[in-house]
């Protein structure tokens, strides 16, 4: 028997959950038809939703025994959700996907075949278009991938997504990376393994709203850079050396000018400009240092990546207690 765990991080997804559940069931039935020895486990991660998501998950878990859920004590972010899912999934294979049907479940059978063939350890989709996304946003995304791939040893494919079908080996490799500042796109590619990229057109969210504002995406991309590259540190050293050379040239020029013309007073504006520029540069470089320091600070605290408030076991227990008290 082969168990496939499907991990789904959910944050305020009450509207799409029923749609998702319906779609994923179709796909699971389809796979079971072809491979009767496959079992499924649906593992939802409720990332501190403020709507009715948790109640929906409780209901699903009570009526369908292949549904499990983990509910966080607050919103920890999608990265934490994915980590919790991978940590708690029991499957021989693990799928990570969004709840909003932007990661079409219909790809799963195809992904399974790729992995079963033994040629790949992971199958994932890659967006080849960004239909439904604003032009500016797409442009910034593209620039991010360009910069990232230039300055980091870890290559991240443009349009790569978190929608992944992985073998247990790869999941264990990912779990061995216990860092607090998690940037999954980088982690997936850092661990290596043979990955099949399936190109597809972007799909819009089935219902509900995205929680990613432009600002949060920008912050996330910086996280990625600081987590997977030390190039910004090198940039600050480079700027330091560059400004040192410029100042050296200026000193020589000034001394020669003074010797030739004996005119030391002029150059007030230049002085102010240089002081301002040097001050700015220094602050900029300290800022970069600070970014790495703050990451190190958070890592060194070794805080848990997520905290669990409730799981499907609690839901089953509560129901048993209830039926017990009815009998009494």
Residue 81 or residue 232: which is nearer to ligand UDP going by CB? 81
**Angle formed at CA 306 by CA 174 and CA 154, multiple of 5 degrees:** 30
Question: Which of 64-72, 96-104, 107-115, 227-235 is the region at the interface with Mg ion (rule: CB under 5 A)?
Answer: 96-104
Report the 10 Å Cβ neighbour count for 76: 20
Residue 102 or residue 167: which is nearer to ligand UDP going by CB? 102
Q: Shortest Cβ distance from residue 205 to Mg ion (Å)?
A: 5
Instruction: Give the count of residues interacting with Mg ion (CB under 5 A).
Output: 4
C-alpha distance from residue 215 to each of 190, 212, 226 (Å)? 26, 8, 17
Sheet with strand 122-127: strands edge to edge: 195-200, 122-127, 160-167, 93-96, 2-10, 38-46, 67-72, 308-311
9 binds, among ligand UDP, Mg ion, none (CB under 5 to 8 A by kind): ligand UDP
15 binds, among ligand UDP, Mg ion, none (CB under 5 to 8 A by kind): none
Name the DSSP letter for residue 327: H
3-state class (DSSP) for residue 67: strand
79 binds, among Mg ion, ligand UDP, none (CB under 5 to 8 A by kind): none
> Is residue 125 near Mg ion by the rule CB under 5 A?
no
Chain residues binding ligand UDP by CB under 6 A are: 9-11, 13, 47, 75, 77-78, 81, 98-100, 102, 205, 210-212
Q: Shortest Cβ distance from residue 99 to ligand UDP (Å)?
A: 4
Euclidean distance between CA atoms 267 and 247, whole angstroms? 14
211 binds, among Mg ion, ligand UDP, none (CB under 5 to 8 A by kind): ligand UDP
> Is residue 102 near Mg ion by the rule CB under 5 A?
yes
In the chain the first and final C-alpha atoms are separated, in Å, by 40
88 binds, among Mg ion, ligand UDP, none (CB under 5 to 8 A by kind): none
Element spanning 72, H or E: strand 67-72
Helices (H), the chain: 17-34, 53-63, 78-88, 108-116, 135-151, 168-175, 184-190, 214-228, 231-261, 268-301, 312-327
Residue 81 or residue 91: which is nearer to ligand UDP going by CB? 81
> Is residue 312 near Mg ion by the rule CB under 5 A?
no
Residue 172 or residue 204: which is nearer to ligand UDP going by CB? 204
Residue 13 or residue 56: which is nearer to ligand UDP going by CB? 13
Q: Shortest Cβ distance from residue 145 to ligand UDP (Å)?
A: 15
Residue 43 or residue 97: which is nearer to Mg ion going by CB? 97
Among 47, 56, 79, 100, binds Mg ion (CB under 5 A): 100
Euclidean distance between CA atoms 263 and 259, whole angstroms? 8
Instruction: Give the contact letters, 187-216, x = binds to Mg ion (CB under 5 A), - = no.
Output: ------------------x-----------
Name the DSSP letter for residue 132: T
Residue 58 or residue 164: which is nearer to Mg ion going by CB? 164
Report the candidate in 184, 207, 159, 158 with the shortest Cα–Cα distance to residue 10. Answer: 207
3-state class (DSSP) for residue 235: helix
Report the 10 Å Cβ neighbour count for 153: 10
Question: Which of 17-25, 64-72, 94-102, 177-185 is the region at the interface with Mg ion (rule: CB under 5 A)?
Answer: 94-102
Residue 56 or residue 100: which is nearer to Mg ion going by CB? 100
Question: Which residues lie near Mg ion (CB under 5 A)?
Answer: 98, 100, 102, 205
């Amino acid at each position: 028997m082969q168990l496939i765990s499907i991990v789904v991080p959910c944050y305020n997804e009450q509207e799409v959950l029923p749609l998702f559940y319906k779609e994923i069931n179709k796909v699971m039935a389809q796979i079971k038809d072809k491979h009767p020895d496959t079992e499924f486990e649906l593992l939802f991660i409720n990332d501190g939703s403020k709507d009715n998501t948790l109640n929906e998950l409780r209901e699903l878990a009570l009526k369908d025994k292949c549904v499990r859920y983990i509910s966080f004590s607050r919103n920890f972010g999608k990265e934490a959700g994915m980590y919790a899912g991978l940590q708690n999934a029991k499957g021989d294979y693990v799928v990570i996907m969004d709840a909003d049907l932007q990661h079409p479940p219909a790809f799963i059978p195809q992904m399974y075949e790729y992995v079963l063939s033994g040629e790949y350890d992971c199958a994932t989709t890659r967006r080849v278009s960004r239909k439904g996304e604003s032009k500016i946003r797409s442009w910034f995304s593209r620039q991010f991938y360009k910069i990232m791939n230039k300055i980091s040893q870890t290559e991240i494919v443009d349009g790569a997504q978190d929608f992944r079908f992985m073998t247990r080996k790869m999941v264990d490799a990912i779990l061995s990376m216990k860092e607090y500042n998690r940037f999954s796109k980088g982690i997936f590619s850092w661990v290596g393994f043979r990955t099949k990229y399936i190109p597809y057109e972007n799909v819009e969210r089935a219902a509900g709203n995205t929680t990613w504002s432009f600002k949060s995406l920008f912050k996330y991309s910086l996280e990625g850079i600081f987590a997977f590259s030390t190039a910004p540190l090198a940039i600050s050293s480079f700027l330091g050396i560059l400004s040192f050379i410029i100042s050296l040239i200026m000193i020589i020029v000034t001394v020669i000018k003074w010797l030739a013309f004996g005119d030391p007073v002029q150059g007030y504006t230049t002085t102010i400009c240089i002081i301002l520029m040097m001050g700015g540069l220094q602050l900029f470089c300290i800022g970069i240092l600070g970014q790495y320091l703050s990451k190190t600070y958070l890592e060194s605290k070794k805080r848990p990546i997520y905290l669990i408030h409730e799981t499907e076991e609690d839901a089953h227990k509560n129901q048993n207690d209830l039926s017990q008290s009815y009998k009494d």
